[in-house]
Amino acid sequence: MERKGKLADAGRFNRQLSENQHLRLKLFFWFVSMTVLCTCAIAQEETADYWMKKAIELRYRGSFEESAQAYDRALQIDPENATLWIGKALDLGTIGRDKESIKAYETALQLTEETLKNDPQNATAWHRKGKILSNLGREDEASSAHETALAASDQILERDEENSIALRIKAEALASLGQWDESLQVLDKVIEINPRNYDARGRK
């Protein structure tokens, strides 16, 4: 009887130990899971793309000051991204910080010109240059850049007539040059190729 009692006590002890181990394992895996989730969230917040999307959301809400700050966070990660400088410039101009806005546009322009030195046929860069120059009030130079963007996009479309990026650049370049009907025709083609292209629908 005494031996059976000891065996029963040992069994209860082992079950209790097993339960404790199981609980510890559950706590361990929970801790690991939370660590991974937190690490992923932190990693996401450390990307320029995350802060750019955040800036765009804030701008749509009318929070231009906070949007500019989000662009600053993005630029800390990717300071040579011309698109980020343009976004910041737009926000600064909206809240009346004109000198800072012009400086941001000029930085974006410098970065874009560096891109074009390495890739003179870059349609995206020519289109971006046209928008920057237009926002700086340099309309003649802007028109010239848009014309070059149009020619560069046409070269791409000769090789790939359904290239959605080239079609969008062409549509925007035509609109910037005041050729609205032609721009709408190109947007129609973008939608025909990809009916779910909501960006093109919005531009119409």
Find the CATH number of the domain harbouring 147: 1.25.40.10
The domain tally of the chain equals: 2
Rounded Cα distance between 157 and 201, Å, is 20
Domain presence at residue 138: yes
Rounded Cα distance between 46 and 32, Å, is 21
Q: Which of these three, 29, 44, 59, is where a domain ends?
A: 44
pLDDT in tens, the chain (204 residues): 554 444 445 455 445 545 555 444 344 334 434 433 333 444 456 899 999 999 999 999 999 999 999 999 999 999 999 999 999 999 999 999 999 999 999 999 999 999 999 999 999 999 999 999 999 999 999 999 999 999 999 999 999 999 999 999 999 999 999 999 999 999 998 888 877 643 544 444
Domain presence at residue 87: no
Helices (H), ranges, 61-197: 64-77, 82-94, 98-118, 123-135, 139-159, 164-176, 180-193
Domain presence at residue 79: no
Domain presence at residue 185: yes
Domain presence at residue 74: no
pTM of the predicted model as reported, rounded to 2 decimal places: 0.72
Domain presence at residue 33: yes
Q: Please calculate the CA angle 164-167-171 and round it to the nearest 5 degrees.
A: 140
Domain presence at residue 55: no
The structure tokens listed for 29 are: 């895996």
Domain presence at residue 187: yes
Q: List the domain range (segments joined by +) for residue 23.
A: 1-44
